[in-house]
Structure 1
């Protein structure tokens, strides 16, 4: 998928939150370039904050505030943002539940958290590794990853430090611990303007009919959610005072 598709998806999900306006604050977690946050904030007319441990050079040219920090310890007050987006970030943090817990802390009571991540149930991973990479134990995966990390100039420790595949069913369970409402919204992808020249988007168009049929029933939705490569969740109504288990 491309950032263009994700921008459409975020706009669609944010449109459901009628209270977002020029006084709102939108937080994008883990966006080094700030593209999606600045585009969404421009469409809404609100303030955009981008949080990451590092940024691309062109991020400073975008209309958003850049904050260096860790998504598991967001340097913002409780109940201080109205919308949060997270695009392909869960798989890069060792403890995605800590990130989810802190999004619930900083999000307003009527705010919305939209998260997109790759699903470990799918053999491809979107990081240039061979098929099946998400399923390998770390001891084997580290050896397989070495030439690919060198090819993409990611650094010797990238696989060990920044590659932590997640299961969609685990992400849903963790989101449900901290939010009253969690919606699976990958079906929204079928309503977007897809680029037929893009292989992944063309594949999605090819399977649009059977996917729509599957989404029409509760059992079908659950089965798709378990295996679909790009789970999209829209979470609302953060649970106040919720503490992590053993944390």
Structure 2
């Protein structure tokens, strides 16, 4: 999936929950584009947080905060919504990020998280299919030529590539939120770009996926293997 599809999902999930006085935080915001576009469409204030911003971040009308998502410089209960778009796999301890998100959220706040599922053999980071399943000792050797190709720092695979299982993410979210909903079915409702290979693949399997999502058992089965689990968590503990 690409950012426009995720943006549609965020809008449909958050538009009724946020107003002009609300604060929306995008963790791992890169250049701040999604946060700014969401704030504009929903009508709220946007904060973009990242450990290091890409060039061009200053061109978007949102407040950029350079910080680590596992130790965020915000008071308890000061944010109304948090989004995390493909960030968990870049955090060695994603539960710390989840705990911090719960801490800074208001009692009626919403946390929308999307991440690659380790059960899926590829996750869009440019590595060969099957990389999430390799032992680190083997994966680090395989990763070297790809890190050079994508101009990544030496050791990027070990330092910033930690794919997680969807069932692990659900368990960690449930530790810090009283309500955790699996919402990947909402991706089927997005306006897909048929020129994008990954979106065409989703479109191809839309009908069987819809049938699977129509039952509780089918939804849980899909959840274990679907490449991009989407969770909407509320009622922070």
Pairs within 5 Å for 1:184-195: 184-195=182-193
TM-score (ref. length: structure 2): 0.99
Measure, in 1, the Cα distance between the counterparts of 2:162 and 2:147. 15
Residue 150 in 1 paired to residue 148 in 2? Answer: yes
| Alpha-carbon distance between aligned partners in 2 of 1:123 and 1:16, rounded to the nearest angstrom | 35
Residue 13 (structure 1) aligned with residue 21 (structure 2): no
Partner of 2:181, secondary structure, is strand
Match of 1:245 in 2: none
Question: Quick one: distance in 1 between partners of 2:181 and 2:195?
Answer: 30
Structure 2 contact 15–42 (Cα < 8 Å) conserved: no
- What is the aligned-residue RMSD (CA, Å)? 0.7
SS at match of 1:219: helix
Counterpart residue number, 1:111: 109
The unaligned stretches of length 5 or more in structure 1 are 240-247
The 4+ residue runs of structure 1 with deviation greater than 6 A are: none
Equivalent-residue separation in structure 2 for 1:190 and 1:125 (angstroms): 18
Write out aligned runs for 1:186-205 (5 A): 186-205=184-203
Pick from 53, 56, 59 the counterpart of residue 55 of structure 1.
53
Shift of 1:84: 0.4
Maintained 8 Å contact 2:177/2:235: yes
* Alignment correspondent of 1:228: 226
1:165 partner SS: coil
TM-score, structure 1 as length reference: 0.95
Instruction: Measure the CA separation in 1 of the matches of 2:87 and 2:163.
Output: 10
Give the match for residue 172 of structure 2. 174
Is 2:11 the counterpart of 1:3?
no
Structure 2 alignment gaps of length 5 or more: none
Aligned residues, how many?
237
